[in-house]
Amino acid sequence: MDPFNLAGRQGTGHQGGLRPSARSVFSIVRCVARMKRIFSHPLTALAAGLCLRLFFVLKFPANSGDTALYQQIAANWLKHHVYAMDVGGTITPVDLRMPGYPAFLSLIYAMTGRTGAEARLWVMLAQIAIDLLACLLIARLAVLLACNSEGIAANPSVKRAALWLAVLCPFTANYTAVQLTEVFAVLWTVLACNFIVIGLRRVEKPDFLSKGSHLRLRSSVNYTAFGAGLIVGLGTLFRPETPLLLVAAAIVFCGLFLFLRSMGRWFSTSFAMALGCLLILSPWALRNFVSLGELQFLAPKNSNLPGELVPHGFLAWEKTWLYRVRDCNARHPLRTYILLPAARAFTIWFTPRIELLPVSGNVFPLAQMREDDPVDQEVTSALFILNLFYAGIGVWGAAWSWRSNPATRPALSFLVLFILIRTAFLTTLETPEPRYVLVCFPALIAMGAQLFAGRSEALQHRQRTEHPLP
């Protein structure tokens, strides 16, 4: 009797008629199936992400130079109802930081009755919840990318892969343990990306994800663009460079409408995005006009106090030596405008990202560092390789999806263009930091997850080929 023949069993619904070896295989198969169901559930991934973030919060809580600044503004806002700093012992209104993160800190302070360092744990716990929400939105973005021309979502493998890649990413998880804007920047960026991708899909398919809606289908792109503008405006209240998302979106929309010979729709879509963003930023600009006498929608580029002198000449000179390049000046325009920005872009993208961890980041010389501090070298090397993995899987996934799913090409173009524009922008800053590219990781993860759709489809095809239905 074939041990795998269910008909040959001596008992119905029992394993008594199976040989010992067959019962062992049957038990393993059931165990594997059970484990697969457990790890396929989103709560398992979120639990793993929660553990990783709690590890960083409890083991490696960190501070930054901006942390004290945010705390001071938040405390003054809560106690004195003024968005201000203590300058020379006087409460002075300022605009050198956007108000989003101080507003978040003020809310936590009001809810807990604690301020500053005493409220740090509560702030970080709230940031964990926000970061896990961003992970769910990353998974949603991956599903949107995987939808075909009919708007049918891909198999669940894409969503599961994106969620696991997001919750286990140590680079974004690490920033839940420091009071900075990165967690919120990632959240608003990925939420805006979801809206913009939906809008891009609705250019050719107006009823994409809106079947049964009472809204006019022809205006569905404008409604989505307006929503994206509102979200980008909220993100700008935390990070002033967030509107770069709208720049990338407007370029891709322009290409689509130009192909359709409908530039009027492009103007209306771009206007809707800009209007949504400006509506959110207008109260901040009005406050700056009333309190400081300047119509400032963003924060000052040089983070200067009102009336403070900005050393523009020194800052221009500083750009020439930030990457430790000697004798770089106006006589070498290729070096100044091409090689230096490229070197800075490489540095901020391919750093080991250990700025919040108690490791030096030194790997070379290999033999000496191995002898002096092997743990330091191993941690740095592991994070560097992991960073390469996330960047590589994003590029690979984008290339695979571009070939296999033409319907998602506008969305891919937007995500790739956003990454390029943001990177180019960061190379113009006087003090670019590696953390400034963290908002690009949701796009990398969502694009990288597309590879798992191809793997799942290939596996299903092979199973159908090897075991055809009768």
**101 and 17 housed in the same domain:** no
Does residue 312 sit within a domain?
no
Domain check: are 189 and 98 in the same one? yes
Q: What is the pLDDT of residues 199-245, one digit of tens each?
A: 999 988 877 777 666 666 667 899 999 999 999 999 999 999 999 99
Q: What is the pLDDT of residue 4?
A: 41
More confident position, 439 or 30? 439
pLDDT band at 443 (very low <50, low <70, confident <90, very high): very high
Report yes or no on 294 lying in a domain.
yes
pLDDT of residue 319 exceeding 70, the answer is no
Query: Do residues 8 and 71 share a domain?
Result: no
Q: Are 147 and 409 in contact (CB under 8 A)?
A: no
Burial class (CB in 10 A: 0-12, 13-18, 19+), 330: exposed
Does a structural domain hold residue 322? no
Percent of the chain at pLDDT > 90 equals 53
Q: Assess whether 53 and 8 both reside in one domain.
A: no
Q: What is the residue-wise DSSP string for 201-227? A: HHHH-TTTT-TT--S-GGGHHHHHHHH
User: Is 113 among the domain residues?
Assistant: yes
Q: How many C-beta atoms lie closer than 10 Å to residue 274's C-beta?
A: 18
> Is the domain of 170 the same as that of 23?
no
In a 10 Å sphere around its CB, with 0-12 CB exposed, 13-18 middle and 19+ buried, how is residue 320 labelled? middle
Residue-range definition of the domain harbouring residue 369: 41-300+350-466
What is residue 434's predicted lDDT score, i.e. its pLDDT?
Answer: 87
Domain assignment present for residue 313? The answer is no
pLDDT tens per residue across span 51-67: 999 999 999 998 888 89
* H/E run at residue 183: helix 182-204
Residues 162 and 155: their CA atoms lie apart, in Å, by 12
Does residue 112 surpass a pLDDT of 90? yes
Average pLDDT, the chain: 84
User: Same structural domain for residues 111 and 31?
Assistant: no
* The pLDDT value given to residue 421: 96
Quick one: 122 and 244 in the same domain?
yes
Task: Say if 414 falls within a structural domain.
Answer: yes
Same domain, 178 and 107: yes
Average pLDDT over residues 6-23: 51
Q: How far apart are CA 346 and CA 343, in angstroms?
A: 5
Q: Which long-range contacts (CB under 8 A, 24 or more apart) does 339-348 make?
A: 340/427, 341/424, 341/427, 341/428, 342/427, 344/426, 344/427, 344/432, 345/423, 345/424, 345/426, 345/427, 347/323, 347/434, 348/423, 348/426, 348/432, 348/433, 348/434, 348/436, 348/437
- Identify the pLDDT of residue 470: 44
Task: Reply yes or no on whether the pLDDT at 24 is more than 80.
Answer: no
pLDDT, position 5: 47
| pLDDT per residue as tens digits for the range 151-182 | 666 668 899 999 999 999 999 999 999 999 99
Q: Would residue 336 count as lying in a domain?
A: no
Residues 268 and 400 in one domain: yes
Are residue 151 and residue 199 in the same domain, yes or no? yes
| Least confident piece of the model among 31-40, 102-111, 193-202 | 31-40
Residue 11, pLDDT > 80, answer no
Query: Do 35 and 176 reside in the same domain of the chain?
Result: no
Residue 455 and residue 396 share a domain:
yes
Over 60: is that where the pLDDT of 455 sits?
no
Number of domains in the chain: 2
Residue 330 lies in a domain: no
What is the Cα–Cα distance from 445 to 189, expressed in whole angstroms? Answer: 13
In this model, does residue 92 exceed pLDDT 80? Answer: yes
